[in-house]
Amino acid sequence: MMTGYGQGLGWGMMGSWFGWFVMLLFALLVFVGVILLVIWAARASSGGGQSVAGPTPPLTGHDDAVAIARKRLASGEITPEQFDEIMRALGG
């Protein structure tokens, strides 16, 4: 007759409180992982993720657009006529 490990709840890792704690922790991590995977899949299928072309730059306000146009005019990147066209398009 064998005695020792496997002969009741007091022996081995699964019979101790530490073993049950590790199993509970692992089950919780698997559950959270499945939930996160479902959320990620739902966002990816609904277009909630980033586009293929990459992230879009943040939208700037009217004052920022005017400042950019002035800098481009000052650096010679655009002509005065193009600057006037930009200002008309901006409503300023």
pLDDT digits (tens, 9 = 90+) for 31-90: 999 999 999 998 888 865 555 556 656 656 778 888 899 999 999 999 999 999 999 988
This prediction has a pTM of: 0.38
| Cα 85 to Cα 69: distance, rounded to the nearest angstrom | 10
| Cα 39 to Cα 46: distance, rounded to the nearest angstrom | 11
Residue 56 φ/ψ, nearest 5 degrees: -90, 145
Q: How far is CA 84 from CA 35, 45, 69, 81, in A?
A: 54, 43, 10, 5
